[in-house]
Amino acid sequence: MSTTLLRHHLFAPAASCFLGVLSLATVLCFHFPELLTSRELRAVYTEDFARTLLLIGLAAAFFAGTVAVLRDQHKRLAFTGVGTATVAVLLGGTEVPFDGPVKDTPFSLGLDWFVLALFFSALVFIPLEHAFARRPVPVFRPGWRTDACYFFMSHVLVQLILILVTTSTSLVVSTVKVPGVQVWILDLPFVVAFLLAVFLADLAQAVLHRCYHRIMVLWRFHAVHHSSPELDWLAGSRVHFVETVLTRSIVLLPLLFLGFSTSVVNAYAVLVGIQAVVAHANLGIRFGFLEYLIVLPRYHHWHHARHVDYWDRNYAIHLPLIDMLMGSFKLPRDGSWPEEYGVLKRETVPVGILAQHVAPFLGQRTFDEYVR
């Protein structure tokens, strides 16, 4: 049996289960929009778009599940997909009514953001990784459940994360003013301002990233991100909640402090989301000279290499220039890739999202235990 999902008989039942669960989550969003959908994301998509996407998901879930059952392929997954899709239909499906405009609430979960991000990420990257894989890695690889939980948590709690990040940066931004610089920044053309924002944010991120690797109390949190033995589009989601809030606060701080416009900050946020997935993706494509201009998979994969010569290298997430300036740039010229990924001593990071979130607060491990 092939190790790739798209080559064997697991595809149809897995697709049915995946789409059935997402369809049910979407229907729940229709029923409880104030509680389960994020205000910021509701402004991006329309009701008609959401209902059309739900209809496609339901039809595909029923079709794939029926095919799997008729072919006797992983019936448990197939019945889960058909069952969750059936529940979604019984709860109203695409016909769930809205009672007027969605009211704003102080806090809501971003279940809609999770559904959209997971659906389109899987739709794009699973076929890409199938066609251009650096090495064969099954979609349901070891640890995928843990990474899926991280993906769920980071998207569903997006508003909580935003509140924490805004709270942590607003005091500094409100008390320290540099009006001359802020006016100059606002007068810049959008493209120039965006490129400057990318450089400054990546510099802040890289400096913090180096601290994660060199300061023990921070490394305990960051080691979670490095613990996955395989890299793909989903693996980049494995980030401790404390690290998520701290990194986003530090990266956002210079952009708000210098007065970049909301459109520039939003554009940068989109870039972060895309490049974080791309950098971890299992794509063995050679990009030539672009690997020295933009952080692409091979560059970041070497940062995750289970190799003592690379655990302190390639901190940038956007621009290799940042690492060149910091003296942490390292990329083999022969086009080679790492043989293994993860912390050097895997037993130092526990298995599972709950244990990984608790572990940094316990014990007194030293760097030698992690990296020697």
pLDDT digit string, tens, across residues 184-240: 898 999 999 999 999 999 999 999 999 999 999 999 999 999 999 999 999 999 999
Residue 127 lies in a domain: no
Residue 125 lies in a domain: no
* pLDDT given for residue 5 in this prediction: 42
Residue 174 shares a structural domain with residue 283: yes
Residue 92 shares a structural domain with residue 202: no
Neighbours of 102 (CB within 10 A): 14
Residue 170 lies in a domain: yes
Q: How far apart are CA 56 and CA 127, in angstroms?
A: 19
Q: Which of 108, 138, 170 is the last residue of a domain?
A: 108
Between 40 and 156, the more confident residue is 156
Residue 182 shares a structural domain with residue 97: no
Residue 102 shares a structural domain with residue 180: no
Residue 101 shares a structural domain with residue 197: no
Q: What is the pTM of this model?
A: 0.89
Q: How many domains does the chain contain in total?
A: 2
Residue 131 lies in a domain: no
Confidence of residue 1 (pLDDT cuts 50, 70, 90): very low
Residue 195 shares a structural domain with residue 74: no
Q: Which of 90, 108, 126 is the last residue of a domain?
A: 108
| Long-range Cβ contact pairs of 145-148 (< 8 A, separation 24 or more) | 146/238, 146/351, 146/352, 146/353, 146/356, 147/228, 147/234, 147/235, 147/237, 147/238, 148/234, 148/237
Between 132 and 168, the more confident residue is 132
Angle of helix 158-175 relative to helix 241-257, nearest 10 degrees, comes to: 40
* pLDDT given for residue 168 in this prediction: 77
Residue 73 lies in a domain: yes
* pLDDT given for residue 6 in this prediction: 44
Residue 177 shares a structural domain with residue 318: yes
Is the pLDDT reported for residue 3 higher than 60?
no
Which domain range does residue 190 map to?
Answer: 147-370
Q: Which of 47, 82, 108 is the last residue of a domain?
A: 108
